Amino acid sequence: MLPNDNTSTAELETLTAERHSMVEQQLRRRGITDQRVLEAMRSVPRHEFVSRQDWPQAYADHPVVIAEQQTTSQPYIIAAMLQAAEIKPGDRVLEIGAGSGYQTALLAELAGQVFAIERYSSLVEASRQVLDRLGYHNIAVVAGDGSLGLPAAAPYDVIIVSAAAPHIPAALVEQLASGGRLVIPVGDSSQQVLKLVRKRAEGVSETALEGCRFVPLIGQGGFGA
Question: Which residue in the list 73, 100, 147, 162 is annotated as catalytic?
Answer: 73
* Helix 121-133 and helix 102-110, axial crossing angle in degrees, nearest 10: 50
Quick check: is 73 catalytic? yes
Catalytic residues, which ones? Answer: 73
